[in-house]
A and B are shown apart, each in its own frame.
Chain A
Amino acid sequence: MSHHVTFNDLPQGGEKFEPAKGGKLIGSLGLVGLLGLIASGYFFFAKTDTFAYSWLFAVFFTFTFVVGGCFWILLHSASNSSWGVAVRRIWENLANMILALGILATPLLIPAVQKPLYEWMNHHRAAAEHAHHDHSTVKEALHHMTVGDEAKKIEANPHLHILVEKFGYLNISNHFLPPFSWQVRFVLYFLILWHIARTLRGKSLKQEQDGDIKHTIAARAFSCRWLLFYALTVTFASVDWLMSLDYNWFSTMWGVYIFAGCAWASMALSILVLTWLRGLGYLNKVVTDEHYHLMGKLLFAFTVFWGYIAFSQYFLIWYANITEETRFYLTRNTEAWRGVSIFIVVGHFVGPFLLLLSQPRKKNPVVVSLVCIWILFMHLVDIYWNVIPERGPSLGLGYWVPGAWVQDLAALCAVFGTMGFLYLRGLAKYSLYPWRDPRLIESVNVVN
């Protein structure tokens, strides 16, 4: 048994991160973010329609990490765990990026951006116009548009029937304000996540003042309550932003599918950040191979969970073959997207599954970190595969828009680069681990 670490072995005040030490990575992320923002600014005005998809893709990709970070602190507190105290601050800081991300997400509230993305909003806006003239409700106007009206030269569009049926949930604030319209929910998601992230880090920081266990207990009670709202937030956010790209399509597994990816990718990211910090000489006293093993196990668990959910969703939809459901997979199972689909099965599930199966590999920081880089790439492919195939058909540009990948790259650099820059710089604000948490010693000496 190695030496049992006590509080006396650890520095007073924890470890403070100096951004200058990690200047290379932080600087390049900042540069990439800046260049991405400039390019995005150009594309935003020059190619609004195709770029809207790029921006949604980039924002949602980054959003999944923040959401995942939020999940790990919630789970860690709610399950009364002690093993992760030494690495908890990494998740806390990750979750607290939600506000900065909210600012980058605001373009999605602009009608000109929504127009190419969400077809249903266009129908709703048209219906609102009709309703304004006829002094009827928007829902009635939508119904009129479904059946058509020759006197007013409105062509019948039977597809809109489903929008009438979904009106209770899927609606926007236009000439009126329904209590839970798309926009209101959009703001609410960020507020809920911000509240969770801020409260849990707040309790953790207060504990650094007095070292009292009562903050841990309060965090546990808070987490148990807010896990419910967290789950609802992730589910409905993915429904609102991605599923409604095709208003005909629906999948009851969608929220879980996205959540599985969130937890998976954010765990990979936090392992990478951990390895990076340890390479710079931080956290070496509190984090051991055992933590890598534990985090690797969770990574493995979510590899399997994602595979299970992704397959179930595919299996039920593809073999049930109901027209409005199958369209999602029909788009992704034909033409070039078919190759991407198969690549995701192998790269997102089979590869990580086999790589993470053995214990010595999970305990080896170098091996795990290499796997994590691959995982981040596969998560990127997964989100890309979910968002981008809608672009061509929705805009009437074929299944693949040539050259639009440059815009996707620009948006990705802008959002991920900027957020990465802010996140890593933000690490310097507090100690890298909660140094007065009474269970820190338990975490440092963890054996599994």
Chain B
Amino acid sequence: MSTTLKRVHGYLAEFDSVQELYHAAEHVRDAGYQRWDVHSPFPIHGMDKAMGVSRSKLPYLVFCGGITGTTVAFILQTITQTNFWSSIGLGFLEKIVETYPTVVQGKPTDIWTLPAFFPVMFELTILFSAFTTLFGLLALIGLPRWNHPLFASKRFPKFSDDGFFVCIEARDPKFSQEGTKSLLEKAGGKNIELVEDEV
């Protein structure tokens, strides 16, 4: 018989209803824990407040992504189709590519033809924002990953049906074998188990 080395992932506690989960989250928040999460089959209004989660950084990333899209579209189009860059003394930029103004309906080839480029600027803003949203989100929440330690628990799969869980991770500085367990018990948690991860 061989022995396998295991690492404690954290305590998992089950709750019967949304209300209990909500109040438990408030308890854990007030106890000052940082590395913990709740799991429910559906989103719960106001849960981020009850958990004390600060606002996501994602909007800032998306804003930067969007601005990048606008700028890229602006530069690409003005360099290839207008004399804007040489008119502000940066003519060498236009040497990189061949400037080829598309003159339609007698409209100018300087910066004032800008509205003609708005659709592409708009599209690239949307495209870059969408990409930053998707990939920024995946990066922030740490997906994709092969497995999660919580899947070791037999009860945990209920989270996608009718189970409400709180999991406090062992890497939280406040985590302690006795203290965390009694906190979860006091908050009304049932079936409290120590989830272990195979190393």
Question: What is A's interface to B at a CB cutoff of 8 Å?
Answer: 1, 311, 314-315, 318-321, 357-359, 447
Mask, B60-77, CB within 8 Å of A = 1, is: 000100000000000000
- The answer to whether B115 and A357 touch across the interface, beta carbons within 8 angstroms, is no
Name 5 extra pairs, CB < 8 A, besides A311-B118, A318-B107: A1-B46, A315-B118, A318-B115, A319-B116, A321-B106
| Residues in A neighbouring B137, C-beta threshold 8 A | none
Q: How far is the CA of A320 from the CA of B105 in the complex (A)?
A: 7
Chain B residue numbers with a CB within 8 Å of A358 are 59
> Chain A residues with Cβ under 8 A from B50's Cβ?
1
The residue of chain B having its C-beta at the shortest distance from the C-beta of A358 within the complex is B59
Q: What's the minimum C-beta distance from A98 to chain B, rounded to whole angstroms?
A: 36
Bits for B101-117, please: 1 = Cβ < 8 Å to A, else 0. 00011110000000110
Closest partner residue, chain B, to A354 (CB atom)? B63
CA A314 to CA B118, docked complex, whole Å: 11
A357–B45 CA distance with the chains assembled, in angstroms = 22
A-B residue pairs in contact (CB < 8 Å), sample of 17: A1-B46, A1-B50, A311-B115, A311-B118, A315-B116, A315-B118, A315-B119, A318-B107, A319-B104, A319-B105, A319-B116, A320-B105, A321-B105, A321-B106, A358-B59, A359-B55, A447-B45
Residue numbers in A under 8 Å from B118 (CB-CB): 311, 315
Complex contact A1–B49 (CB within 8 A): yes
- What is the CB-to-nearest-CB distance from A306 to chain B, in angstroms, rounded to a whole number? 15
B26 to A, closest residue via Cβ: A1
Within 8 A of A (CB), among B84-138: 104-107, 115-116, 118-119
Q: Write out the residue numbers on chain B whose beta carbons fall within 8 Å of the beta carbon of A321.
A: 105-106
Task: Identify A319's interface contact among B45, B49, B55, B107, CB under 8 A.
Answer: B107
Residues in B with CB closer than 8 Å to A1 are 46, 49-50
Among B50, B55, B105, B116, which residue has the most Cβ atoms of chain A within 10 A? B105
- With CB as the reference atom, state the residue of chain A lying closest to B113: A319
Query: For residue A357, which residues in chain B have a CB less than 8 angstroms away from its CB?
Result: 63
Q: A138 to nearest B CB, angstroms? A: 37
CA distance A381 to B68 in the complex (A): 31
- Kindly report which residue of chain A lies nearest to residue B104, judged by CB atoms: A319
When the two chains form their complex, are residues B115 and A315 in contact, meaning their CB atoms are under 8 A apart?
Answer: yes
CA distance A291 to B59 in the complex (A): 22
Give CA–CA (A294, B131) in the complex, Å: 27
**Nearest-Cβ distance from residue A312 to partner chain B, whole angstroms:** 10
A448's closest neighbor in chain B, by CB?
B45
Give the docked Cα–Cα distance between A178 and B116 (Å): 43
Contacts of A311 in B (CB 8 A): 115, 118
B115 contacts A314, CB within 8 Å?
A: yes
Q: Chain B nearest CB: distance from A338 CB in Å? A: 9
Inter-chain CA distance A318–B108, complex, in Å, is: 12
A50 to B45, CA, bound (A): 57
The docked-state distance in angstroms from the alpha carbon of A315 to that of B118 is 9
- The distance in angstroms between the C-alpha atoms of A320 and B104, with both chains bound, is 9
Residue of A nearest to B116 (CB): A319
Which chain A positions have C-beta within 8 A of B59? 358
Residue of A nearest to B45 (CB): A447
Question: Closest residue to A311 on the B side, CB-wise?
Answer: B118
Bound-state Cα–Cα, A359 to B54, Å: 13
Cβ contacts under 8 Å, A359 to chain B: 55
Find chain A residues with CB under 8 A from B63 CB.
357
Q: B134-159: contact bitstring with A at CB < 8 Å (1 yes, 0 no)?
A: 00000000000000000000000000
Within 8 Å CB of B55, what residues of A? 359
CA distance A358 to B106 in the complex (A): 40
Question: Which residues in B have their C-beta under 8 angstroms from that of A320?
Answer: 105
CB distance from A132 to the nearest CB of B (A): 45
Q: Who on chain B is nearest to A318 by CB?
A: B115
| Shortest Cβ-Cβ A-B pairs, 7 listed | A321-B105, A1-B46, A447-B45, A447-B46, A319-B105, A311-B118, A315-B115
Bound form: Cα–Cα A357–B63 in Å: 10
Give A357 to B62 CA distance when docked, in angstroms. 12
**Complex: how many Å from CA A311 to CA B106?**
20
A315 cross-chain contacts in B, Cβ below 8 A: 115-116, 118-119
CB distance from B76 to the nearest CB of A (A): 19
- Distance (Å) between the CB of A2 and the closest chain B CB? 9
The residues in B between 25 and 74 inclusive whose CB is less than 8 angstroms from any CB of A are: 45-46, 49-50, 55, 59, 63
Give the complex CA separation of A318 and B45 in angstroms: 48
Provide the bound-state CA to CA distance between A357 and B125, in Å: 15
Residues of the A chain whose Cβ atoms lie less than 8 Å from the Cβ of B106: 321
Q: Which residue of B lies closest to A308 (CB)?
A: B122
Query: In the complex, which residue of chain A has the Cβ closest to the Cβ of B107?
Result: A319
CB distance from A363 to the nearest CB of B (A): 12
How many whole Å from A70's CB to the nearest CB in chain B? 31
Please, how many angstroms separate the alpha-carbon atoms of A319 and B104 in the complex? 8
Residue from B45, B106, B115, B119 whose CB has the most chain A CB atoms within 10 Å: B115
- Distance between Cα atoms of A319 and B116 in the complex (Å): 8
For residue B106, which residue of chain A has the nearest CB?
Answer: A321
B45 neighbours in A (Cβ, 8 Å)? 447
Contacts of B46 in A (CB 8 A): 1, 447
Taking the closest CB of chain A, its distance from the CB of B25, in whole angstroms, is 11
Min CB–CB distance B24 → chain A (angstroms): 14
Please report the C-alpha to C-alpha distance between residue A447 and residue B50 in the assembled complex, in whole angstroms.
Answer: 13
What separation, in Å, do the CA atoms of A357 and B118 have in the docked complex? 20
How far apart sit A320 and B119, CA to CA, in the bound complex (Å)?
A: 15
State the Cβ distance, A382 to closest chain B Cβ, in Å. 17
Docked pose: A321 CA to B106 CA in angstroms: 9
Cα distance A315–B55 when bound, in Å? Answer: 39
How far apart are the CA atoms of A314 and B50 in the complex, in Å? 48
A211 to B119, CA, bound (A): 51
A11, B46: Cα distance in complex, Å: 27
Cα distance A317–B42 when bound, in Å? Answer: 49
CB distance from A362 to the nearest CB of B (A): 13
